[in-house]
């Protein structure tokens, strides 16, 4: 075991090879003039120890002031005081956090916006000194990259770039044709400050995939939330010629693939550049999305089947005016309703929650109505935009309500809102007061509270990664005989909360329900008790966490039936009905009162490139995991999605084993409200 | 007046009163007796039969060219048949154009007719196939029985199933056989489905749910392993330790649990493993009359979380392929300790088949009419509005001895200032009176009384309404009163043949209009009168002189074969205790 440190510059700090697992706030440096060969048979843990040891050594020798870091030298020049962002101040906990500006953002998010910073750009600067005896032309380029939601650039198994690293969100100057910028530095043994600007915007590689009819639809690949790093590369004219075109111009590809500059400089051939300095500021800024829920709800014509619909409920914060079109972060959501939602509903109108509708009420109504008394109906969606959704600018909240119904107008109407700006990945946390689902007798009101991500659609530009093994099911609504295709744009990640039993472990599934007989001469014949497996958790509802992977069987542990998923000290059971079933679901029973009887509760979908974690909790610092899936068992979405919040009626045939059938649950007598207080994506 | 004369007069009066009381009692008893009532009915609407309209069409001749405008029942025009017109205005409809035509069972024809004298004509229904072959022909005589006046006529033609074919067409027309002169107007044709509610196939008997708690071996075969041991419930369980492979067997003839071949069997059992990794299989199998095994399926505990020393439930659903079994086959359910590990089982439940479908035929409500807010409630057809009867704050403790077996009369038997009705409970030829005390909001027993002439008068008025019984089902109980406080009389119709079916109706020009289903509100817990097995309603102006209320006596019956009309042994179920309450409608609800 040995380590060789080859020091070519006497003033240079000691180098640090970044770990392939590099994350967090560690600032790392790569000095091209110094190499650190490590014997390949050195175990990784030993390498890690030595690197940590060296890190301590380095930082104890270098310049640690601010974010500028130490002076970095190569033979021809020295760089110091690199300030990746100079016009955005740290917050109270010394983090630089910027909230995405949703105003006028239909064309895509720009970070920072002109409203946030005067010129609408981040400024950066660094100092450079010419170490030679004559004036020199040097070249610099700045890259940024989302560090929170990325694949590692380096694949330790292959020693090459990670095959999925090209999906990472990185960029440079918006005009990707601006390769390196030239600076001439006098040989005056003095540092010269270079000022420049950049901003983060969608489609930073200006990919054709997101360009149609000559328009760069940057919104189709919005900047991701999370932490960003900045990588500054300063090269000599000689080295510039060695930098490949696809690194100079990130729009370019090599062999049909993008090569990430981070890989090139930190792990690839860029490490061999002799007179170049590459500096990565690992944790420059954190981008968070927190749309103002009081900024209105837009109404999309398409959701209501064209322009001929009732607009009488429009108001300043809900409708179609130009202000709402530009600035509203949400629009009214209309659920897809298919024919399978047809119900023959009991002709009863009741407030299940307030009237304390009992199990006996349920059982009687289930048994003693004749078919011709039933109300044939399908689950309804809003016909009058803005009638059942409100945006409250004062309290910055959105209110949704399932409308009550009356005799002759029987309906169960789903209601909800959807964000208007797509994002890929993020920790979506919603502070919300949704309707209670169970009443005091623990009878279900038939609603499903749902917080879910859905594809932004769009077809090709939003296709998820190819499923090379056997493809995806072509449509999300088709049956098991649907054809398989290599790519689809459909993705969905759900919280669906309703009264239904867990499928797993399956020793007690399906529940054994007694038969009922409509015999009014014997109460016990129609008023049968629910089985133990239901009554044992009578006051609980099920939090169903689902990832729609469209039955792509590529994941290593793709399975059907119940399969255990250990994670973080818990065991989850993921369930898939069959190999063609498009979704994988985990269920956890939770107390209805805790989640929905209080003032609010938090629900979080942590969507990462290789895993999805579902959490709930009373406050952001008390979240607990209720679901976990990773790319070993399911295909994780890698396209742009929108967030939907709904209180929706489901056909309970979708949820086998459910103790209360939707058809046998009364129509709602009163409005059923839900209030959304906050959405934070970080 | 001499005392003897007074006594004599009182005696005669009492005799008249008692006689009147006896007559009223007999009549009311008859009214409470459904058999007697049905015997007196002139036209009986068939019990458990409903008529659903599939489609209808009308012709008032207002937009038909070349019709007569000399007379009209409505509008300005009518259709005139003359000696030159033998076959009058006909309506032809392709059967395939009638929604849900496969359910077509009846064609109703209603029309107005005007003639100077009775005519020799008939109305004809004819169904021909596409080749013109006649499949059905029927006719009814026209009875224009109001000379020089419009009279309404109504026919119902039964349509045989063999004539109901998409390729066929129906013609309905008047045949002016003697070529006379008369007029027709306002023809309505209704194409109906007829559903016999009572004829709905009963797939199962009431005994399809079974729990074997192993406290006894009743119903089990091979219960040798049942003993006093660690039990999930009670003291006994089935111990399959020591290599025992089979638990007790439940064998049933399918016909004992279902009138049709089964499609599904559900079963569950609690398992208490004494070692890790038990392999117990809950099995179901079917053997035919020849002793051949025609079905076997099982669900194992292997690989599932059945921890040692903990009761864990195992459920199984077995779906039987259609055609695999008959009702004469035997079905066996048991636990097979396949792994022969030590384990105990208890509380085995078996559910044979599935709950029967709801009664009746499919709803004919047009869902679009609901979506478009154009729904018009069909007269006297479901769905009905629900009109609630609210429980009143009345202390009925004094009435607690009354049961639904008793007979009651309500009336203002005691002349006092409040003009409220009393409840008379008739038992063994005696009438015990109960009076409501408004100030105390309670009933009080006032002993046995002779009833006044007023009460008989009221009874007689009520009896008048019996004439209207023909409009209701023979087993209906009817109540009259001003329940809605609108100074009109409403009739409440209660039928408990298969459910507590309570409707409020009002008389209208065509007969009766059902205002809605009656339900109850304000009761404690689940004590809704409609949930009880046996209820008796007494109607009267008990708590208000201007509005009728209902005294509702609700009980459950422990009789093994309770018929709904008399209970030998009442049962006070904790979840549904026997109760007596007063209910009133809110004023003016329609």
Residues A231 and A361 in one domain: no
Cβ–Cβ below 8 Å for A515 and B533 = no
- Considering the domain boundaries, does residue B5 fall inside one? no
Terminal Cα distance for chain B, rounded: 56
Residues 198-257 of B with CB under 8 A from A: 204, 206, 208-209
Distance CA B202, CA A516 (A): 12
**DSSP helix/strand/coil, B466:** helix
Cβ–Cβ below 8 Å for A374 and B358 = yes
Cβ–Cβ below 8 Å for A520 and B496 = yes
Cβ–Cβ below 8 Å for B526 and A377 = no
Closest approach of A625 to chain B, Cα-based (Å): 22
Q: Are B33 and B414 in contact (CB under 8 A)?
A: no
Residues A271 and A366 in one domain: no
* Residue B511: per-residue pLDDT: 82
Distance CA A146, CA A457 (A): 23
- Considering the domain boundaries, does residue A320 fall inside one? no
Residue B44 or A588, more confident: A588
**DSSP secondary structure string for all residues of B5-50:** HHHHHHHHHHHHHHHHHHHHHHHHHHHH-HHHHHHH-SSPPPTTEE
Distance CA A658, CA A668 (A): 19
- Considering the domain boundaries, does residue B363 fall inside one? no
Residues 284-323 of B with CB under 8 A from A: 301, 304-306, 312-315, 317
Question: In this predicted complex, what is the ipTM?
Answer: 0.83
Of the candidates A247, A267, A288, which is a domain's last residue? Answer: A288
Residue B10 has pLDDT above 60, yes or no: no
* Residue B67: per-residue pLDDT: 81
Q: How many domains does chain A have?
A: 2
- Considering the domain boundaries, does residue B364 fall inside one? no
- Considering the domain boundaries, does residue B480 fall inside one? yes
Residues B476 and B537 in one domain: yes
Residues A152 and A263 in one domain: yes
Cβ–Cβ below 8 Å for A521 and B500 = no
Which residue in B267, B386, B499 is closest to A518 by CB distance? B499
Residues B473 and B498 in one domain: yes
Q: Which of A314, A354, A343 is nearest to A411 (CA)?
A: A343
Identify any residues that bridge with A134 across adjacent strands, giving them in sequence order: none
Q: Is B24 on the interface with A (CB under 8 A)?
A: no
Name the residue in chain B with its Cα closest to that of A360: B526
Closest approach of A147 to chain B, Cα-based (Å): 41
Which residues, in sequence order, are CB contacts of B99 under 8 Å at separation 6+? Answer: B54, B55, B364
pLDDT in tens, B359-379: 988 888 888 899 888 899 889
Name the residue in chain A with its Cα closest to that of B51: A372
The parts of chain A modelled with pLDDT lower than 70 are 1-69, 339-341
Residues B456 and B581 in one domain: yes
Cβ–Cβ below 8 Å for B564 and A511 = no
pLDDT band at residue B106 using 50, 70 and 90 as cut-offs: confident
Q: Which of B170, B158, B125, B120 is nearest to B142 (CA)?
A: B120
**DSSP secondary structure string for all residues of A463-501:** PPPP-TTT-EES-SSS-TT--EES-----EEEEEEES--
pLDDT in tens, B251-309: 999 999 998 899 999 999 999 999 999 999 999 999 999 999 999 999 999 999 999 99
Best probe of the B interface among A354, A371, A381, A531, by most B CBs < 10 A, is: A371
Q: Are B352 and B331 in contact (CB under 8 A)?
A: yes
Residues B477 and B561 in one domain: yes
Distance CA B92, CA B90 (A): 6
Distance CA B154, CA B138 (A): 14
Closest approach of A313 to chain B, Cα-based (Å): 18
Residues B86 and B165 in one domain: yes
The total of other beta-carbon atoms located within 10 Å of residue A499's CB is: 27
* Residue A16: per-residue pLDDT: 33
**DSSP helix/strand/coil, B465:** helix
Residues A359 and A276 in one domain: no
Average pLDDT over every residue of B224-246? 96
Greatest mean pLDDT among A200-209, A648-657, B196-205, B441-450 lies in A200-209
Residues B66 and B122 in one domain: yes
Closest approach of A365 to chain B, Cα-based (Å): 10
Residues of A in contact with B353 (CB under 8 A): 515
- Considering the domain boundaries, does residue B398 fall inside one? yes
Which residues, in sequence order, are CB contacts of A180 under 8 Å at separation 6+? Answer: A139, A140, A141, A233, A235, A240, A243, A248
Of the candidates A238, A255, A288, which is a domain's last residue? Answer: A288
Phi and psi, residue B408, nearest 5°: -135, 150
Greatest mean pLDDT among A627-631, B13-17, B90-94, B104-108 lies in A627-631
* Residue A3: per-residue pLDDT: 31
Residues A263 and A363 in one domain: no
**DSSP helix/strand/coil, A166:** helix
Helices (H), A145-206: none
Q: Are B285 and B234 in contact (CB under 8 A)?
A: no
Distance CA B461, CA B456 (A): 8
Residues of A in contact with B204 (CB under 8 A): 515, 517
Cβ–Cβ below 8 Å for B363 and A531 = no
- Considering the domain boundaries, does residue A244 fall inside one? yes
Residues B192 and B254 in one domain: no
Cβ–Cβ below 8 Å for A509 and B315 = yes
* Residue A10: per-residue pLDDT: 32
Which residues, in sequence order, are CB contacts of B561 under 8 Å at separation 6+? Answer: none
Closest approach of A403 to chain B, Cα-based (Å): 14
**DSSP helix/strand/coil, A646:** strand
Of the candidates A288, A316, A336, which is a domain's last residue? Answer: A288
CATH number at residue B160: 2.60.120.260
pLDDT band at residue B458 using 50, 70 and 90 as cut-offs: low
Half-sphere exposure in the Cβ direction for B542 (13 Å, CA): 30
Q: What angle do CA B67, B72, B76 make, to 5 degrees?
A: 70
Residues A368 and A245 in one domain: no
- Considering the domain boundaries, does residue A338 fall inside one? no
* Residue B466: per-residue pLDDT: 56
The total of other beta-carbon atoms located within 10 Å of residue B11's CB is: 10
Cβ–Cβ below 8 Å for A348 and B386 = yes
Strand A160-161, strand B330-337: pairing? unpaired
HEC profile of A422-460: CECCEEEEEEEECCCCECCCCCECCEEEEEEEEECCCHH
- Give pTM, 2 decimals: 0.80
Contacts 24+ apart (CB under 8 A), A249-253: A249/A176, A249/A177, A249/A179, A250/A143, A250/A170, A250/A171, A250/A172, A250/A176, A250/A204, A250/A205, A251/A176, A251/A177, A251/A205, A251/A206, A251/A207
* Residue A69: per-residue pLDDT: 63
- Considering the domain boundaries, does residue A412 fall inside one? no
Name the residue in chain A with its Cα closest to that of B377: A408
**DSSP helix/strand/coil, B98:** coil
* Residue B41: per-residue pLDDT: 26
Q: Is B388 on the interface with A (CB under 8 A)?
A: no
Residues A227 and A362 in one domain: no
For chain B, what percentages of helix, strand and coil (3-state, to nearest 5) are there?
15, 40, 45
Cβ–Cβ below 8 Å for B563 and A348 = no
Residues B409 and B317 in one domain: no
Of the candidates B196, B230, B250, which is a domain's last residue? Answer: B196
Which residues, in sequence order, are CB contacts of B425 under 8 Å at separation 6+? Answer: B402, B406, B407, B408, B431, B432, B433, B434
* Residue B29: per-residue pLDDT: 40
Instruction: Count A/B contacts: CB-CB distance under 8 Å.
Output: 162
HEC profile of B217-276: CCCCECCCCEEECCCCCCCEEEECCCCCCECCEEEEEHHHHECCCCCEEEEEEEEEECCC
* Residue B140: per-residue pLDDT: 81
Residues of B in contact with A513 (CB under 8 A): 266, 351
Residue B108 has pLDDT above 90, yes or no: no
Residues A125 and A254 in one domain: yes
* Residue B471: per-residue pLDDT: 65
Distance CA A585, CA A577 (A): 10
Residues A96 and A167 in one domain: yes
Of the candidates B160, B175, B196, which is a domain's last residue? Answer: B196
Of the candidates B331, B352, B373, which is a domain's last residue? Answer: B352
Cβ–Cβ below 8 Å for B383 and A375 = yes
* Residue A135: per-residue pLDDT: 97
Which residues, in sequence order, are CB contacts of A568 under 8 Å at separation 6+? Answer: A625, A628
Q: Is B50 on the interface with A (CB under 8 A)?
A: yes
Q: Is B374 on the interface with A (CB under 8 A)?
A: no
Helices (H), A293-388: 322-327, 359-367
* Residue B364: per-residue pLDDT: 85
Residues B496 and B571 in one domain: yes
pLDDT in tens, A575-634: 999 999 999 999 999 999 999 999 999 999 999 999 999 999 999 999 999 999 999 999
Phi and psi, residue A426, nearest 5°: 135, 160
- Considering the domain boundaries, does residue B201 fall inside one? no
Q: Which of B88, B78, B67, B64 is nearest to B139 (CA)?
A: B88
Q: Is A321 exposed, middle or buried (0-12, 13-18, 19+ CB in 10 A)?
A: middle
pLDDT in tens, B91-101: 888 888 887 77
Cα A612–chain centre separation = 9
Which residues, in sequence order, are CB contacts of A80 under 8 Å at separation 6+? Answer: A63, A68, A69, A70, A71, A72, A126, A127, A129, A191
Name the residue in chain B with its Cα closest to that of A369: B358
Cβ–Cβ below 8 Å for A525 and B50 = no
Residues B98 and B160 in one domain: yes
CATH number at residue A360: 2.60.120
* Residue B47: per-residue pLDDT: 31
Percent of chain B's residues with pLDDT above 70: 85
Residues B394 and B271 in one domain: no
Which residues, in sequence order, are CB contacts of B90 under 8 Å at separation 6+? Answer: B171, B172, B173, B174
Phi and psi, residue B128, nearest 5°: -120, 150
Cβ–Cβ below 8 Å for A515 and B204 = yes
Closest approach of B311 to chain A, Cα-based (Å): 12
Cβ–Cβ below 8 Å for B206 and A522 = yes
Residue B454 or B180, more confident: B180
Closest approach of B515 to chain A, Cα-based (Å): 13
* Residue B449: per-residue pLDDT: 64
- Considering the domain boundaries, does residue B267 fall inside one? yes
* Residue B541: per-residue pLDDT: 95
pLDDT band at residue B52 using 50, 70 and 90 as cut-offs: low
Residues 406-435 of B with CB under 8 A from A: none
Residues B513 and B554 in one domain: yes
Phi-psi region at B93: left, alpha or beta (left = phi > 0; alpha = psi -120 to 50):
beta
Q: How many domains does chain B have?
A: 3
Cβ–Cβ below 8 Å for A372 and B356 = no
Which domain covers residue B59, as residue numbers?
A: 49-196
Strand B293-300, strand B182-196: pairing? unpaired
- Considering the domain boundaries, does residue A50 fall inside one? no
Distance CA A632, CA A555 (A): 5
Question: What are the CA-CA distances from residue A142 to residues A17, A241, A267 (Å)?
Answer: 20, 17, 17
Closest approach of B137 to chain A, Cα-based (Å): 30
Residues of A in contact with B375 (CB under 8 A): 408-409
Q: Is B62 exposed, middle or buried (0-12, 13-18, 19+ CB in 10 A)?
A: middle
Residues of B in contact with A520 (CB under 8 A): 496, 498-500, 533, 564
Q: Is B259 on the interface with A (CB under 8 A)?
A: no
Strand B511-521, strand B386-391: pairing? parallel
Distance CA B421, CA B415 (A): 10
pLDDT in tens, A42-63: 444 444 444 434 333 333 333 2
- Considering the domain boundaries, does residue A676 fall inside one? yes
Which residue in B354, B526, B573 is closest to A515 by CB distance? B354
* Residue B451: per-residue pLDDT: 58
Closest approach of B266 to chain A, Cα-based (Å): 6
Identify any residues that bridge with A162 across adjacent strands, giving them in sequence order: none
**DSSP assigned state of B350:** E
- Considering the domain boundaries, does residue B528 fall inside one? yes
* Residue A15: per-residue pLDDT: 31
Identify any residues that bridge with A345 across adjacent strands, giving them in sequence order: A375
- The secondary structure element, H or E, covering residue A680 is strand A672-681
Residues of B in contact with A515 (CB under 8 A): 204, 208-209, 351-356
Residues 458-497 of B with CB under 8 A from A: 496
Cβ–Cβ below 8 Å for B363 and A411 = no
Cβ–Cβ below 8 Å for B373 and A375 = no
Residues of A in contact with B531 (CB under 8 A): 360, 364, 523, 527
Residues A424 and A538 in one domain: yes
- Considering the domain boundaries, does residue A101 fall inside one? yes
Closest approach of A389 to chain B, Cα-based (Å): 20
Contacts 24+ apart (CB under 8 A), B19-22: B20/B451, B20/B453, B20/B456, B21/B431, B21/B450, B21/B451, B21/B456
- Considering the domain boundaries, does residue A14 fall inside one? no
Rg (CA), chain B: 33
Which domain covers residue A576, as residue numbers?
A: 349-373+418-681
Name the residue in chain A with its Cα closest to that of B347: A532
Alpha-carbon dihedral angle through residues A155, A159, A164, A167, given to the nearest 10 degrees: 100
Identify any residues that bridge with A450 across adjacent strands, giving them in sequence order: A496, A646
Cβ–Cβ below 8 Å for A510 and B317 = yes
């Amino acid at each position: 075991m040995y380590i060789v440190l080859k020091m070519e510059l006497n003033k240079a700090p000691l180098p640090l090879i970044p770990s392939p697992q590099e994350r967090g706030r560690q600032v790392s440096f790569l000095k091209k003039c110094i190499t650190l060969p490590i014997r390949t048979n050195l175990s990784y843990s030993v390498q890690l120890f030595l690197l940590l040891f060296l890190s301590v050594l380095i930082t104890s020798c270098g310049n640690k002031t601010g974010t500028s870091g130490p002076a970095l030298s190569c033979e021809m020049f020295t760089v110091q005081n690199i300030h990746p962002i100079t016009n955005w101040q740290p917050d109270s906990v010394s983090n630089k956090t910027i909230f995405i500006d949703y105003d006028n953002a239909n064309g895509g998010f720009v970070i920072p916006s002109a409203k946030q910073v005067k010129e609408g750009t981040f400024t950066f600067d660094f100092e450079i000194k010419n170490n030679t005896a004559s004036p020199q032309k040097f070249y610099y380029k700045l890259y940024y990259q989302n560090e929170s939601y990325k694949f590692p650039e380096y694949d330790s198994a292959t020693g090459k770039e990670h095959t999925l690293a090209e999906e990472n969100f990185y960029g440079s100057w918006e005009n990707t044709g601006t390769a390196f910028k030239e600076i001439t530095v006098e040989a005056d043994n003095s540092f010269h400050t270079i000022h420049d600007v950049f901003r983060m915007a969608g489609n930073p590689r200006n990919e054709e995939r997101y360009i149609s009819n000559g328009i760069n639809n940057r919104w189709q690949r919005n900047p991701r939330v999370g932490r960003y790093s900045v990588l500054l590369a300063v090269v000599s004219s000689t080295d510039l010629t060695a930098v490949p075109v696809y690194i100079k111009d990130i729009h370019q590809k090599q062999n049909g693939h993008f090569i990430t500059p981070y890989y090139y400089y930190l792990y690839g051939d860029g490490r061999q550049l002799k007179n170049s300095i590459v500096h990565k500021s690992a944790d420059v800024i954190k981008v968070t999305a927190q749309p103002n829920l009081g900024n209105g709800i837009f109404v999309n014509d398409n959701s209501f089947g064209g322009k001929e619909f009732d607009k009488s409920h429009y108001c300043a914060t809900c409708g179609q005016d130009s202000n709402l079109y530009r600035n509203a972060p949400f629009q009214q959501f209309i659920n897809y309703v298919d024919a399978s939602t047809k119900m023959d509903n009991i002709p009863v109108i009741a407030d299940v929650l307030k009237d304390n509708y009992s199990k006996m009420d349920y059982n009687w109504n289930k048994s003693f109505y004749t078919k011709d008394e039933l109300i044939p109906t399908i689950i309804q969606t809003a016909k009058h935009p803005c009638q059942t959704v409100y945006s409250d600018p004062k309290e910055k909240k959105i209110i949704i309500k399932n409308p009550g119904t009356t005799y002759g107008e029987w309906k169960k109407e789903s209601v909800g809102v959807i964000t208007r700006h797509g994002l890929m990945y993020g920790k979506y946390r919603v502070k919300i007061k949704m309707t209670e689902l169970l009443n005091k007798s623990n009878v279900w009101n038939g609603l499903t509270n749902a917080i879910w991500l859905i594809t932004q659609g769009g077809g090709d530009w939003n296709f998820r990664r190819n499923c090379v093994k056997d493809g995806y099911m072509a449509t999300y609504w088709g049956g098991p005989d649907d054809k398989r295709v290599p790519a689809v744009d459909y993705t969905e990640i759900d919280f669906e909360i309703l009264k239904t039993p867990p499928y797993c472990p399956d020793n007690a599934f399906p529940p054994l329900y007694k038969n009922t007989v409509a015999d009014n001469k014997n109460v016990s014949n129609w008023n049968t008790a629910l089985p133990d497996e239901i009554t044992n958790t009578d006051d609980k509802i099920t939090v169903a966490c689902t990832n729609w992977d469209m039955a792509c069987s590529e994941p290593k542990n793709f399975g059907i039936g119940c399969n255990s998923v250990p994670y973080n000290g818990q065991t989850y059971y993921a369930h898939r009905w069959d190999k063609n079933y498009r979704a994988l679901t985990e269920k956890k029973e939770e107390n209805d009162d805790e989640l929905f009887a209080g003032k609010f509760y938090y629900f979080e979908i942590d969507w990462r490139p290789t895993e999805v974690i579902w959490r709930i909790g009373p406050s952001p610092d008390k979240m607990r995991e209720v679901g976990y899936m990773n790319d070993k068992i399911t295909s994780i979405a890698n396209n742009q999605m929108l967030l939907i919040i709904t209180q929706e009626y489901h056909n309970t045939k979708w949820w086998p084993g459910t103790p209360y059938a939707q058809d046998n649950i009364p129509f709602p007598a009163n409005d059923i409200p839900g209030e959304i207080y906050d959405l934070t994506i970080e | 007046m001499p005392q003897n004369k007074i006594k004599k007069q009182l005696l005669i009066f009492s005799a008249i009163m008692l006689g009147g009381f006896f007559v009223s009692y007999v009549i009311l008893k008859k009214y409470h007796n459904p058999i007697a009532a049905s015997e007196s009915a002139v036209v009986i609407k068939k019990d458990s039969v409903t008529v659903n309209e599939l489609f209808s069409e009308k012709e008032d001749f207002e937009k038909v060219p070349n019709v007569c405008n000399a007379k009209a029942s409505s509008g300005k025009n009518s259709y005139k048949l003359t000696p030159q017109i033998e076959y009058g205005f006909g309506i032809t409809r392709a059967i395939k154009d009638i929604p849900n035509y496969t359910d077509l069972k009846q064609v109703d024809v209603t029309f107005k007719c005007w003639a100077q004298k009775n005519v020799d004509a008939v109305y004809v229904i004819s169904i021909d196939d596409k080749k013109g072959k006649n499949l059905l022909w029927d006719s009814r005589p026209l009875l224009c029985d109001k000379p020089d006046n419009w009279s309404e006529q109504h026919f119902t033609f039964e349509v045989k199933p063999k004539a109901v074919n998409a390729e066929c067409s129906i013609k309905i027309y008047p045949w002016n056989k003697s070529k006379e002169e008369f007029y027709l107007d306002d023809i309505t044709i209704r194409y109906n489905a007829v559903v016999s509610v009572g004829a709905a196939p009963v797939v199962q008997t009431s005994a399809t749910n079974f729990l074997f708690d192993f406290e006894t071996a009743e119903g089990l075969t091979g219960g040798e392993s049942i003993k006093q041991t660690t039990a999930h419930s009670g003291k006994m369980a089935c111990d399959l330790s020591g290599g025992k492979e089979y638990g007790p067997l439940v064998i049933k003839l399918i016909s004992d649990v279902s009138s049709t071949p089964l499609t599904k069997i559900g079963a569950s059992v609690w398992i208490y493993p004494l070692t890790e990794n038990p392999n117990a299989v809950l099995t179901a199998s079917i053997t035919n009359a020849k002793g051949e095994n025609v079905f076997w399926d099982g669900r194992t505990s292997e690989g599932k979380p059945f921890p040692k020393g903990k009761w864990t439930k195992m459920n199984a659903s077995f779906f039987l392929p259609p055609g695999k079994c008959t009702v004469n086959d035997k079905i066996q359910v048991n636990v097979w300790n396949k792994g022969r590990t030590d384990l105990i089982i208890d509380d085995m439940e078996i559910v044979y088949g599935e709950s029967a479908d709801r009664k009746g035929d499919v709803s004919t409500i047009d869902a679009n009419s609901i979506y478009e807010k154009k729904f018009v409630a069909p007269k006297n057809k479901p769905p009905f509005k629900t009109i609630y009867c609210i429980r009143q704050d009345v202390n009925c403790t004094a009435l607690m001895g009354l049961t639904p077996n008793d007979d009651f009369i309500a009336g203002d038997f005691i002349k006092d200032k409040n003009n409220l009705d009393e409840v008379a409970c008739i038992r063994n030829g005696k009438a015990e009176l109960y009076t409501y005390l408004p100030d105390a909001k309670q009933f009080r027993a006032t002993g046995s009384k002779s009833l006044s002439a007023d009460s008989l008068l009221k009874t007689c008025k009520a009896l008048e309404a019996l004439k209207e019984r023909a409009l209701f089902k023979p087993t209906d109980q009817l109540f009259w009163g001003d329940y809605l406080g609108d100074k009109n009389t409403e009739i409440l119709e209660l039928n408990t043949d298969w459910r507590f079916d309570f409707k409020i109706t009002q008389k209208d020009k065509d007969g009766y209009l059902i205002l809605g289903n009656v339900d109850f509100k304000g009761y404690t817990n689940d004590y809704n009168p409609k949930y009880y097995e046996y209820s008796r309603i007494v109607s009267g102006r008990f708590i208000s002189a201007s509005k009728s209320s209902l005294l509702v006596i609700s009980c459950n019956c422990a009789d093994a074969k309770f018929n709904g009309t008399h209970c030998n042994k009442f049962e006070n179920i904790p979840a549904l205790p026997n109760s007596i309450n007063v209910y009133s409608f809110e004023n003016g609800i329609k």
